[in-house]
């Protein structure tokens, strides 16, 4: 005949059952427990953006390099006969090369962040980025850093290719090369973020790229000295912020510039600050992201 459990054993069993039921009670979401910055989430978002363009590297990295090399080839052949292959021709090639390297930064940094956000919105996968515990600051940093990486990578590869096939690119003022290249990549990455969030379809995104970014890039002294322009157009060029990026970057290689380099340093820093604040506000509000 089995022996009945004691009173103490019965109390212990009751407490175990109550504890198990309490553990199964649904609880509300917990607060972030990552410190001031979710470094793991930020790193994951950054790597996602980098791997995204590296998976199609022939399109996102190799194609811009070939495009810039074709520019160099066309201008070299076009001006070879006119300048008789002398010092004037060599000086023009040295002038053109830094501008094309910077052009790679400007177009690719903006294209990366804008296309990433636009694709996420159209396919509905943007929710996979908005749901994890990432703050608006971490979202801004992740997208910006990923796009800037593509711009810098294209620039480095383009500079190496130009140095091999055309003219060696050797920095004279290394600080200017680093400052203006990194600033350009960050600025255009944030422009891409804003345009990618604003656009509701790829047609609108194409309008920004084709009618704003490309004209401003081509008409910013990439292929010519602005002092050959009439006075009115010189003033218009000086109002183009991309001119200061290209001019400052070229100053790093040639030691000469068409504008005031220090004005460009300050202006670009202010523009980047304004862009970063704008990106933070857009991510924080969820405008056209959480609708």
Question: Contact 16/5 with Cβ under 8 angstroms?
Answer: no
- pLDDT-derived band at 76 (thresholds 50, 70, 90) equals confident
Q: What is the pLDDT of residues 83-122, one digit of tens each?
A: 544 556 678 889 999 999 999 999 999 999 999 999 999 9
Predicted confidence at residue 270, as pLDDT, reads: 98
> Quick check: 9 pLDDT over 80?
no
Q: How far apart are CA 16 and CA 10, in angstroms?
A: 10
> Quick check: 4 pLDDT over 80?
no
Predicted confidence at residue 113, as pLDDT, reads: 96
Predicted confidence at residue 13, as pLDDT, reads: 63
Q: How far apart are CA 196 and CA 204, in angstroms?
A: 9
Predicted confidence at residue 3, as pLDDT, reads: 47
Q: What is the pLDDT of residues 213-256, one digit of tens each?
A: 989 988 888 888 888 889 998 899 899 999 999 999 999 999 99
> Quick check: 182 pLDDT over 50?
yes
Long-range contacts of 115-124 (CB under 8 A, 24+ apart): 115/192, 115/196, 115/205, 116/49, 116/52, 116/143, 116/146, 116/147, 116/196, 117/143, 117/192, 117/193, 117/196, 117/197, 118/196, 118/199, 118/202, 118/205, 121/196, 121/200, 121/288, 121/289, 122/201, 122/202
Find where tokens 């410190």 sit: 35
Q: Which residues of 57-77 are buried (b: 16+ CB within 10 A; e: fewer)?
A: eeebbeebbeebbebbeebbe
Which residues are within 8 A (CB) of 95 and not within 5 positions of it... i.e. 6 or more apart? 225, 250, 254
Q: Is the dihedral of CA 128, 116, 50, 265 positive or negative?
A: negative
Predicted confidence at residue 11, as pLDDT, reads: 62
Q: What is the pLDDT of residues 17-70, one digit of tens each?
A: 566 555 554 555 555 666 788 999 999 999 999 999 999 999 999 999 999 999
Q: What is the pLDDT of residues 185-216, one digit of tens each?
A: 999 999 999 999 999 989 999 999 889 998 99
Closest Cα partner for 251 from 176, 182, 159? Answer: 176
Question: Contact 39/32 with Cβ under 8 angstroms?
Answer: no
Give, in order, the Cα–Cα distances in Å from 208 to each of 83, 154, 168, 205, 280: 37, 21, 34, 5, 21
- pLDDT-derived band at 1 (thresholds 50, 70, 90) equals very low
Give me the mean pLDDT over the 175-192 stretch: 97
**If 0-12 CB within 10 Å is exposed, 13-18 middle and 19+ buried, where does residue 119 land?**
middle
Q: Which residues of 18-42 are buried (b: 16+ CB within 10 A; e: fewer)?
A: eeeeeeeeeeeeeeeeeeeebeebb
Q: What is the pLDDT of residues 264-281, one digit of tens each?
A: 999 999 999 999 999 999
């Amino acid at each position: 005949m089995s022996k009945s459990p004691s009173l103490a054993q019965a109390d212990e069993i009751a407490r175990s059952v109550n504890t198990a039921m309490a553990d199964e009670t649904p609880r509300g979401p917990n607060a972030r427990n990552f410190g001031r910055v979710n470094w793991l989430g930020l790193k994951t978002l950054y790597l996602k953006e980098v791997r995204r363009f590296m998976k199609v590297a022939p399109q996102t990295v190799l194609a811009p390099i070939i495009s810039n090399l074709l520019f160099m080839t066309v201008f070299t052949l076009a001006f070879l006969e006119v300048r008789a292959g002398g010092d004037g021709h060599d000086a023009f090639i040295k002038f053109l090369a830094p501008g094309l390297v910077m052009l790679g930064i400007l177009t690719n940094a903006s294209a990366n962040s804008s296309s990433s956000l636009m694709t996420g919105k159209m396919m509905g996968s943007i929710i996979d980025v908005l749901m994890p515990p990432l703050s608006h600051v971490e979202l801004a940093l992740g997208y910006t850093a990923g796009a800037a990486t593509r711009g810098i990578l294209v620039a480095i590869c383009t500079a190496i290719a130009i140095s091999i096939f055309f003219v060696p690119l050797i920095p004279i003022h290394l600080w200017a090369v680093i400052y203006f290249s990194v600033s350009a990549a960050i600025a255009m990455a944030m422009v891409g973020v804003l345009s990618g969030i604003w656009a509701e379809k790829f047609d609108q995104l194409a309008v920004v790229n084709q009618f704003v970014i490309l004209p401003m890039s081509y008409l910013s002294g990439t292929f010519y000295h602005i002092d050959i322009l009439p006075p009115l157009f010189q003033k218009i060029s000086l109002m183009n912020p991309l001119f200061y990026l290209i001019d400052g970057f070229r100053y790093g290689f040639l030691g000469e510039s068409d504008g005031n380099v220090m004005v460009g340093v300050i202006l670009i820093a202010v523009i980047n600050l304004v862009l970063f604040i704008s990106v933070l506000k857009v991510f924080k509000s969820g405008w056209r992201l959480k609708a």
